[in-house]
Amino acid sequence: MNTQIRTALLASTLLFSACSDNDNESLNPLQEGANITLRNTLEEPGETETTYPSLFGQADDAWDESGVLSNSTVEFATALAQGTESGAPFEISGLYEIDFTENSISFKVLPALDDPFWSMVFGEFPQGKFDRYYFTFSEPHNISGFSSDNSNLNVRIDSETVIAVELTEGYSLQPDVSFIVELN
């Protein structure tokens, strides 16, 4: 009987030790190490949605950006920046620093008020204007909802690997604006 108790205790110990601390990672909305592709679109009031590069005569995917989700580095340090070698008519500085963790996405506006390109688009979004940031992940995400410190945005879940962060009516695009999207 003593041997049976020891065997049962040993089996229980092995069973529980097989559960690692990483088991809870599968509950996070995103997984560190996932590849991320960013595509930006703009929809002006009364117009159809168009990609950022198509505004400059480029293919829809011409300025897609790639990053790898890391809890310790910024994935898109100068999102939307383009040089003339990419087909842009002039140098375009990055609009946002976009940083992911397994549970959040933070956006920070980079250009100053006197930026030669972005200063032309600074201001409050009217009804019907949408600035969308599509994020495609290399593996399925676990996002079921969101909250944010900015009420003028939405997170749309398009598929198990694609989400869109939509900046909407009332959003004020200005220097030094920042916001966080908490993912559930």
- Pair 98, 106: CB distance under 8 Å: yes
pLDDT 10s digits, 137-158: 999 999 999 999 999 999 999 9
- Across the range 91-96, mean pLDDT stands at 97
**How many domains would you assign to the chain?**
1
Cα-to-chain-centroid distance, residue 55:
22
pLDDT 10s digits, 72-90: 999 999 999 999 999 999 9
- Pair 128, 136: CB distance under 8 Å: no
6 φ/ψ angles, rounded to the nearest 5 degrees: -60, -40
Other CB atoms within 10 Å distance of the CB of residue 169:
13
Predicted model pTM: 0.85
pLDDT 10s digits, 5-47: 444 444 444 444 444 444 444 589 999 999 999 999 999 999 9
d(CA 57, CA 34): 31
Question: Which amino acid, 12?
Answer: S
Helices (H), the chain: 2-17
Q: Is 180 exposed, middle or buried (0-12, 13-18, 19+ CB in 10 A)?
A: middle
Residues spanned by the domain of 68: 2-183
User: Chain-wide mean pLDDT for the chain?
Assistant: 90
